[in-house]
Copies of this chain bind each other. A is one copy, B any other.
Amino acid sequence: MREVAVIGIGQTKVDEHWDKSIRILAGEAALEALKDAGREFADAIYVGNMLSGVSSHQQHLGSLLADWIGLRYSEAVKVESACGSGGAAFRSAVTAVASGVVESALAVGVEKMTDSPGPEVTAALATAADADYEAGQGLSFVAINALIMRRYIYEYGWKHSDFADFSINAHANGVHNPFARFQDPVSESDYQRAPMIADPINLLDASPMGDGAAAALVVPLETIHPNGATVIQVAGSGSATDTIAVHSRKDPLWLSAAEKSVRQAYQQAGVGPDDIDVFELHDAFSIMAALSLEACGFAERGQGPRLALDGQILPAGRVPIATRGGLKARGHPVGATGMYQIVEVVQQLRGEAGGTQVPDARIGMAQNIGGSGSNIVTHILVRVR
């Protein structure tokens, strides 16, 4: 396989974009990525999206987007893996270019959620879980995560307030990201006073939904002219599944799919946890940030919150996470999130992360989770010059 690189990125603000249809949102990010790369064309388009059939009465997003941005003969498909759709689309783009099937591929994540009433969105998000044995029993997606967090607190002896720093860090970083949905800091007392959603998950443990799109252009590394610009190689890519229902797992507090997918990515890139300068993880709920840090080798089992309490997740810490706000503050337009993570890692490696730049970041990782840990895609990006 050929080595591949990201040479263009684009994103829209995560927001309530009531004035923009799904094709317009996706088109803005895609065209921005092409412009950033100085290209006008891509051979293939992989669109990560979860909910368009329900929320926009539109499937077939691949063809829709190819047509809309003027690439009407390019190959194009939609890739769906619930909240992990963006990362899955990026992996498809990387595979297609690495294999030689195409010479360039746009990966685009897009989601439009805020046009629909809240209960409809809650029902739609539950389609990420097991429809017959979880959602069908009345378990919403946040409720599943609440059960995991409750068990985690019980097993490992944490207090709810020990999770506050995940939220505080994400919001503090979002202040510096003009594309973030929330750009205001939150305090320890804000966290403690936040309304409960599904005990023990409160409003500041949970990421907000939103409308948004993010995109990246992938090409073979060997075709990039040495013109002095920074080059970001996709050095590792891993993907794995776990049971779709949490109750089927031997250990509901361990992300086996994260462990397997990150092992593939580490191995391919020839690096380990100590080498990662920045880690955009899937903090849909603060408990997921803790579990992801553990499965990827940054903390012992049950000790994820310790990294937050010790300030190790801050931009100047040992493993900076959610550096552009994360799902918590940048927002979580579900099928788009995985592509926001890629865009943000590229910003860090290029040194374009502004007020939350990780000093001299050279190796970055992005991990996107579909469902409650049932589909996990991990990518490692490296600045090679």
Which residues of B lie under 8 Å from residue A1 when comparing CB positions?
A: 99-101
Which residue of B23, B66, B99, B127 is within 8 Å of A60 (Cβ)? Answer: B127
Which residues of B lie under 8 Å from residue A240 when comparing CB positions?
A: 73-75
Q: How far is the CB of A57 from chain B (nearest CB, A)?
A: 5
At the interface, yes or no: A128 with Cβ under 8 Å from chain B? yes
At the interface, yes or no: A194 with Cβ under 8 Å from chain B? no
At the interface, yes or no: A256 with Cβ under 8 Å from chain B? yes
Scoring A53, A127, A128, A240 by chain B CB atoms within 10 A of each residue's CB, the highest score goes to A53
As a 0/1 sequence over residues 84 to 123 of chain A, the CB contacts with chain B under 8 angstroms (1 = contact) are 0000100010011011110000000000000000000001
At the interface, yes or no: A384 with Cβ under 8 Å from chain B? no
At the interface, yes or no: A21 with Cβ under 8 Å from chain B? yes
B50 touches A59 (CB 8 A): yes
Give A74 to B240 CA distance when docked, in angstroms: 5
Which residues of B lie under 8 Å from residue A99 when comparing CB positions?
A: 1, 95, 98-101
A244 touches B127 (CB 8 A): no
Q: How far is the CB of A313 from chain B (nearest CB, A)?
A: 28
| Identity of the chain B residue whose Cβ is nearest the Cβ of A125 in the assembled complex | B59
At the interface, yes or no: A374 with Cβ under 8 Å from chain B? yes
Which residue of B57, B73, B95, B241 is within 8 Å of A66 (Cβ)? Answer: B241
Which residues of B lie under 8 Å from residue A124 when comparing CB positions?
A: 53
Copies of this chain per assembly: 2
Which residues of B lie under 8 Å from residue A129 when comparing CB positions?
A: 60
At the interface, yes or no: A303 with Cβ under 8 Å from chain B? no
At the interface, yes or no: A3 with Cβ under 8 Å from chain B? no
Q: Which of A130-138, A175-183, A275-283 contacts B (4 or more CB under 8 A)?
A: A130-138
At the interface, yes or no: A304 with Cβ under 8 Å from chain B? no
Which residues of B lie under 8 Å from residue A96 when comparing CB positions?
A: 95
User: How many chain A residues have a CB neighbour from B under 8 Å?
Assistant: 63
At the interface, yes or no: A145 with Cβ under 8 Å from chain B? no
A79 touches B82 (CB 8 A): no
B130 touches A64 (CB 8 A): yes
Give A240 to B61 CA distance when docked, in angstroms: 14
At the interface, yes or no: A356 with Cβ under 8 Å from chain B? no
At the interface, yes or no: A242 with Cβ under 8 Å from chain B? yes
Which residue of B60, B75, B101 is within 8 Å of A244 (Cβ)? Answer: B60
As a 0/1 sequence over residues 27 to 62 of chain A, the CB contacts with chain B under 8 angstroms (1 = contact) are 000000000000000000000001101101111111
A78 touches B79 (CB 8 A): yes
B77 touches A256 (CB 8 A): no
Which residues of B lie under 8 Å from residue A126 when comparing CB positions?
A: 57
Give A287 to B71 CA distance when docked, in angstroms: 26
| Identity of the chain B residue whose Cβ is nearest the Cβ of A94 in the assembled complex | B101
Q: How far is the CB of A14 from chain B (nearest CB, A)?
A: 21
Which residues of B lie under 8 Å from residue A61 when comparing CB positions?
A: 80
Q: How far is the CB of A135 from chain B (nearest CB, A)?
A: 7
Give A75 to B370 CA distance when docked, in angstroms: 12
A131 touches B67 (CB 8 A): no
Which residue of B57, B62, B371 is within 8 Å of A127 (Cβ)? Answer: B57
At the interface, yes or no: A72 with Cβ under 8 Å from chain B? yes
At the interface, yes or no: A202 with Cβ under 8 Å from chain B? no
Which residues of B lie under 8 Å from residue A78 when comparing CB positions?
A: 79-81
Task: Show 9 A/B contacts (Cβ-Cβ < 8 Å), sorted by A.
Answer: A51-B59, A58-B131, A60-B82, A60-B375, A63-B81, A63-B82, A67-B374, A72-B243, A73-B260
Instruction: Across the A-B interface, give the 7 residue pairs with the lowest CB-CB distance, nearest first.
Output: A99-B99, A58-B131, A60-B82, A63-B374, A75-B239, A59-B127, A78-B80
